[in-house]
Structure 1
Amino acid sequence: MPDKLIKALGYNDQIRVYVVDATNMVKTAQEKHGTWSAATAALGRAMVGTTLLGTTLKGDEKLTVRIDGKGPVGYILVDSNGKGETKGYIKNPQVSLPLNEQGKIDVKGAVGTDGMLTVSKDLNMKRPFVGQVPLISGELGEDFTYYMANSEQVPSAIGLSVLVNPDETVKAAGGFMMQVLPDAEDETIAKVEEAITNLPLMSKLMDEGETPEQILDRLVTDRSARILEAIPVSFKCNCSKERFKDAIIALGKKEIQEMIEEDHGADAMCHFCRTTYQFDEEELNELKEETDMP
């Protein structure tokens, strides 16, 4: 089943709700980076959270989330946009830890809590909007929630879930975000809190075959959910050989000449999708002529 994110209003339009099934997106990331269980769960949760934030953007706006808690997985970097296109990178992909006290993957132990969650939004203005909060949990759902409340002043609840098979493959991945709108009543907020408390693990529900629409009905318990839009979600990288050409040109003549003399060419790998672009001596000589850098 293709990945999908739905946007909805609930509780008589007092709550904005996003629900996403990102199983294939996280599967793709796991396969590209060869992640082990703890790293898979950390990267997957970061990608789901960033996708939820990204779908609040408009047009060609985009955002980057960087998470660095000084844990064994190192930093995590995720890009997303308003079209549901997301790509992710984790510095140390081969991290597997003993299960935590709840018998679940120890995402907190993998990510760490001695660091920051940083969101940089490219809103097509002169400067990007940058918001940053300390990591308060390392489980990431709570950290994204804390970011929304403190940096964007939008009271929200964000849940992120990744289910990993014993052979390191991804079984299911998804998440939700519920945002309190300005006219929300205290009674409504209490209903939302109760619904979230009673919600089973999202990845488990998806593994059992539940759709985002069915999970939406679990979150909006008064059956007032009104779906506004459904968009596809995918792992998508916009790298290209042309982009790497520009990066090589920026190195300058001296460094390009060293590549020619020492390696007789160059291989450039995208750290998001692991695609390798090859440049032979002739191409490097052409790029050397294009640069104004010494």
Structure 2
Amino acid sequence: MHADFIEPLGHGIYAIDTGFQRPRFDAAYLLVENGRAAFIDTGTNHAVPRLLAALELVGLTPAAVDWVIPTHVHLDHAGGVGLLMQSLPQAMVLVHPRGLRHMVDPSALFKGALAVYGPEEMQRSYGQLQPVPAERVQASFDEQTIAVGGRPLLLIDTPGHARHHHCIWDARSRGWFTGDTFGLSYREFDTAAGGEWLMPTSTPVQFDPQALRASVQRLMRFEPQAMYLTHYSRIGFVNHDLPRLAELLLAQVDEMEALALRLRDAPDRHQQLKAGLREQYLRRLQAHGCQLVPEQQAALLGMDIELNAQGLAVWLDKTQPA
């Protein structure tokens, strides 16, 4: 097997770089067991050729795929589901119940993203969303177990980043496929001394810090040995330091919440939220020992800072002042 977009992680798990935005930014996962397979997250429509090529590289045909499981229906995770399903004759989509209708009829999902990104960016990054036939979609439920080639996967409800979010536990690798619940960790910020760094994501429109804290704590109760993030790939495995990473994530959720509450009534709130988030992240990256200059750090985090500020504003507007 040789392709620069697929990385074997052991235990029959492969990370696929979907090519979204920049290299090693957005991952889909292929899980293989006894000649059967599942995709967990798909990236966008533009990722579908890579996903199908990954199957071929591991010696499988599209008919070997039993499940396509988006962690949630944000387009960088699920935008390619409908198009991918057109090539997978045996597969079923397993989606959080709050996201099911968006797989069958993605028009509202497309319209919501269009309002955030605009028509030019939507076409460039996502393409036209394709529906999945209703009879090929199932709603997951909390503590549901499914099997891939006899290998059990457990799904749990993990609100906080979005209400339509579930995470998938693979007991074989003792790892969670976390979507965005366990935050974002970009490989550019890894350091020899400090290891991996991560940050929460409050992308619009359903960020809930209290729910997110509870979800992260629930994930950690399984004593995982790895987290398989969509942004980007496996963390916590090499240095066995998931407790440190969870503590870092939760501390930043607290810090982001405090920043938002402080700026609730600020003039030019969006710009101040962005400035505050930028300061928080760059300060923590400096403490982490990141060798990139601040301008490079800020450039890599630019889209996340913008979306996190938007999401915090939506959360503020939904909550009442104490």
TM-score (norm 2): 0.25
The structure whose residues are more often strand, as a share, is: 1
Considering fraction of residues, name the structure with more helix: 2
